[in-house]
């Protein structure tokens, strides 16, 4: 290839494409004076330092100091070389490249033919669905699912009839059947790949059909959905379903609703949730997240409430965070899937959806709540297990988020943030934790210990006040303390018969079968643990109140509670550290 010919190609392409339009497919730009500014797609940042100069057709980032023209931009963003950038842009500009090798040329042409064939197929299926008797099964399915014709047409849904209708149609139009096979539309024998299925086009963010997914209308068919194979036009994991229709609304509302199924998205749009999209054919990929990032920084994840759905949501939250975006997780009530939820709400669907979205916790908090479900903070074994799970979850997120997440984790579970960031390094101390855990709670153990060794009151009374004990332990504790003050360490035996029957039983049992360890040091630790539990209960109360205050937009109260919460959170962390270090 001659260098001059090559230069011509670059010049010709450059003259025909607009840098601003190319950049805007990847970056949201805002006009400031005569330049356009946005968040740099090549480094992490919160405020825009990426500038596009439309007149010079050049760009510059003040953050990472990368810069260049439309070719360098495409090279970097598509991870290709100069040659690849030229090809992509030439395709876009419709410039025929003289310098393409025969294979490259064939690839470009083949992709073009496949795209044309997919477009034709989408039109054919749509025509069958609405205009001829053979489309009846498809129309019936849409009726059952309460999808209107208007919505169906927006997504260009169609129906593939039984047999070889599409092949006949192509023959009548004198089109190549081979192209239809390459496009994944037809089997070798000419039978339609999607026969007897409702056909859903999978389109890119510009509305170009790249593939299909198709739902059977036959009750006995095992494979509910089948998808187009990968073709020169379609790479799985790079397309977001519904994005062409949702992109404007996503930008307007500030977030995208990410669902699991294409039909969920169609129903969502029908009921007014028009910022809904789905990752198509695969679990969410990094390419898909980057694609969405061009339109928003926040995804509202809507997955099934079963285990698979929850696990998918966790993975998505981590993946999305790695691209510098936020997630929230919406949970459907009563195990409904989103499709059912919206249809059940009928005319109120949009409003009910708003409520649901408003309540959705962050992706991290949703996973945290799952890990901490049923946690009993006074069971040290359980605390260790839960801390381990949360720690593992936190460590999957980018380093910059972890401290903040550990703080949230501490507030919600009462487990110290240190323990949520780093695994404890003193395994020797654990034997003792287990020993304590064999009894019911620190309060109960403390009462038994004091029954056997009343002298320990001297250490204990400085660490805990009676009102910090659980109500079930408080009565007996106060009585024993009175006895001790009145009659000393040996008074209990003489005064025991005046105690309530249940208290007598507890003390007699402790005498008959003393707890595994009875000493002042443990007594003091148990007293601290009682106090710790009490503080955690207080903290939970504040968190509940706080979420109420936030729900009612009572910001003064919310701020006051937030301060209290921070204070008690610190006190809890200090006490936990004290307990751990006193053991070491
Ligand atoms: Zn940059």
Neighbours of 148 (CB within 10 A): 11
Cα(328) to centroid of ligand 1, in Å? Answer: 27
How remote is the CA of residue 245 from the centroid of ligand 1, in Å?
30
Expressed in angstroms and rounded, the spacing between residue 429 Cα and the centre of ligand 1 is: 49
Distance 60 CA to ligand 1 centre (A): 8
Short-list 55, 53, 61, 59, CA closest to 71: 59
CA distance 240 to 534: 49
Q: Are 97 and 216 in contact (CB under 8 A)?
A: no
Helix runs in 147-242, H state only: 149-154, 165-172, 177-182
Distance from the alpha carbon of residue 63 to the mean position of ligand 1, in angstroms: 5
Q: Give residue 62 CA to ligand 1 midpoint distance, Å.
A: 7
Residue ranges for the chain with pLDDT beneath 70: 1-7, 96-100, 281, 424-440, 544, 546-556, 583-584
Å from CA of 45 to ligand 1 middle:
8
* Bridging pattern class, strands 67-68 and 58-61: antiparallel
Ligand 1 center to 24 CA (angstroms): 15
Q: 251: CA distance to ligand 1 center in Å?
A: 22
State the distance from the centre of ligand 1 to the C-alpha of 48, rounded, in angstroms.
9
Give 387 Cα–ligand 1 centroid separation in angstroms.
Answer: 38
* pLDDT value at residue 275: 96
Q: Say what the pLDDT of residue 98 is.
A: 63
Distance CA 479, CA 474 (A): 9
Ligand 1 center–CA 41 separation, angstroms: 7
CA of 364 to the centre of ligand 1 (A): 28
C-alpha 241 to ligand 1 mean position (Å):
29
Long-range CB contacts (within 8 A, 24+) of 554-559: none
What is the distance in A from the centroid of ligand 1 to the CA of 64?
4
Tell how far the Cα of 144 is from the centroid of ligand 1, in angstroms.
Answer: 50
Concatenating the DSSP letter of every residue in 233-283 gives TB-TTS-EETHHHHHHHHHHHS-EEEES-HHHHHHHHHTT-TTEEEE-SSS
DSSP state of 362: B
Tell me the CA–centroid distance for residue 317 and ligand 1, in Å: 24
Distance 39 CA to ligand 1 centre (A): 8
Cβ contact 291:205 at 8 Å: yes
Rounded distance from Cα 295 to ligand 1 centre (Å)? 18
> Separation of 244 CA from ligand 1 center, angstroms?
27
Provide the pLDDT for residue 200: 97
201 CA → ligand 1 middle, Å: 36
Rg (CA), the chain: 33
Question: Residue 32 has what DSSP assignment?
Answer: E
Interval between CA 90 and ligand 1 midpoint (Å): 26
Span from the CA of 163 to the centroid of ligand 1 (angstroms): 55
Taking Cα atoms as reference points, which of 371, 361, 351 lies closest to residue 327?
Answer: 361
CA of 61 to the centre of ligand 1 (A): 5
CA of 256 to the centre of ligand 1 (A): 25
User: How remote is the CA of residue 204 from the centroid of ligand 1, in Å?
Assistant: 27
Ligand 1 centroid to Cα of residue 296, in Å, is 18
Cα(386) to centroid(ligand 1), Å: 40
Euclidean distance between CA atoms 324 and 45, whole angstroms: 9
């Amino acid at each position: 290839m001659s260098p001059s010919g090559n230069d011509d190609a670059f010049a010709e392409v450059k003259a025909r494409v607009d840098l601003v339009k190319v950049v805007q497919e990847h970056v949201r730009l805002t006009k400031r004076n005569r330049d356009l500014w946005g968040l740099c797609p090549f480094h992490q940042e919160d405020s825009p330092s990426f500038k596009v100069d439309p007149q010079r057709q050049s760009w510059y980032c003040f953050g990472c100091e990368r810069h260049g023209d439309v070719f360098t931009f495409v090279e970097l963003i598509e991870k290709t070389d100069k040659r690849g950038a030229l090809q992509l842009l030439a395709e876009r500009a419709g410039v025929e490249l003289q310098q393409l090798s025969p294979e490259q040329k064939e690839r470009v042409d083949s992709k073009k033919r496949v795209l044309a064939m997919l477009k034709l197929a989408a039109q054919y299926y749509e025509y069958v669905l609405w205009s001829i008797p053979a489309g009846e099964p498809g129309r019936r399915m849409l009726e059952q699912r309460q999808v209107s014709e208007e919505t169906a047409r927006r997504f260009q849904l169609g129906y593939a009839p039984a047999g070889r209708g599409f092949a006949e149609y192509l023959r009548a139009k004198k089109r190549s059947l081979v192209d239809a096979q390459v496009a994944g539309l037809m089997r070798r024998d000419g039978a339609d790949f999607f026969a007897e299925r409702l056909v859903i086009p999978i389109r890119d963010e510009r509305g170009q059909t790249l593939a299909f997914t198709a739902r059977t209308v036959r009750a006995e068919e095992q494979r509910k959905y089948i998808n187009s194979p990968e073709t020169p036009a379609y790479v799985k994991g790079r397309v977001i379903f519904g994005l062409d229709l949702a992109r404007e609304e996503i930008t307007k509302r500030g977030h995208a609703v990410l669902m699991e199924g294409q039909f969920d998205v169609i129903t969502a749009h029908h009921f007014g949730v028009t910022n809904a999209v789905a990752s198509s054919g695969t679990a969410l990929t990094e390419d898909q997240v980057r694609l969405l990032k061009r339109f928003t920084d926040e995804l509202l994840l809507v997955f099934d409430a079963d285990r698979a759905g929850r696990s998918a949501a966790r993975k998505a939250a981590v993946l999305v965070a790695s691209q510098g975006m936020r997630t929230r997780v919406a949970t459907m009530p009563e195990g409904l899937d989103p499709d059912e939820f919206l249809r059940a709400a009928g005319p109120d669907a949009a409003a009910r959806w708003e409520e649901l979205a408003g309540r959705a916790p962050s992706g991290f908090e949703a996973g945290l709540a799952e890990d901490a479900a049923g946690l009993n903070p006074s069971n040290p074994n359980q605390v260790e297990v839960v801390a381990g799970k949360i720690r593992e979850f936190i460590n999957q997120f980018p380093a910059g988020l972890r401290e903040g997440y550990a703080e949230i984790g501490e507030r919600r579970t009462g487990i110290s943030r240190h323990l949520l960031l780093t695994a404890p390094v003193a395994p020797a101390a654990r034997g003792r934790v287990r020993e304590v855990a064999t009894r019911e709670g620190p309060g109960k153990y403390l009462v038994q210990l004091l029954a056997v060794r009343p002298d320990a009151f001297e250490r204990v009374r400085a660490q805990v006040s009676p009102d910090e004990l659980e109500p079930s332990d408080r009565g007996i504790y106060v009585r024993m303390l009175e006895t001790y003050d009145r009659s000393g360490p040996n008074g209990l035996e003489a005064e025991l018969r005046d105690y309530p029957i249940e208290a007598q039983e507890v003390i007699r049992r402790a005498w008959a079968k003393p707890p595994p360890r009875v000493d002042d040091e443990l007594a003091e630790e148990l007293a601290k643990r009682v106090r710790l539990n009490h503080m955690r209960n207080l903290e939970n109360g504040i968190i509940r109140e706080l979420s109420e205050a936030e729900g009612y937009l009572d910001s003064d109260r919310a701020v006051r509670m937030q301060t209290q919460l921070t204070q008690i959170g610190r006190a809890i962390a200090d006490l936990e550290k004290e307990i751990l270090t006193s053991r070491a």
